[in-house]
Amino acid sequence: MKFALMVSEGPYTHQAADTAWQFATAAIARGHEVWRVFFYHDGVYNASRLTEPPQDDRHIVNRWSALAAQHKVDLVVCVAAALRRGIKDEVLAPGFRISGLGQLVDAGLKTDRLVTFGD
């Protein structure tokens, strides 16, 4: 099965980002494809390379970057939501790219399931 995910909550303010990453890794481990993850609303904070959690805490941004590098997952950050929150190309972590809402529509059309995480 081919999945697309939408994450609309920040990495340390809500469980949604962790749950989405866990879903993605579990789906891939079971032979499914995670084609695209679209970060929307406060979910765009998952793409910031400026995030520095304590050493004993998980680094969600790095987890997403590693997922993209290892499994060719397309990590797309909504341009309008990003700019409203001060997220620009120069602060993106590796593997993320900024694009428009059309990428979410495209993901819904080209995958078997679009799964959303967050409000």
Q: Is the dihedral of CA 69, 9, 98, 27 positive or negative?
A: positive
Per the residue annotation, which of 34, 78, 81, 107 is the catalytic one?
78
d(CA 80, CA 68): 22
> Using an 8 Å Cβ cutoff, are 69 and 95 in contact?
yes
**Known catalytic residue at 78:** yes
Q: Which residues are catalytic?
A: 78
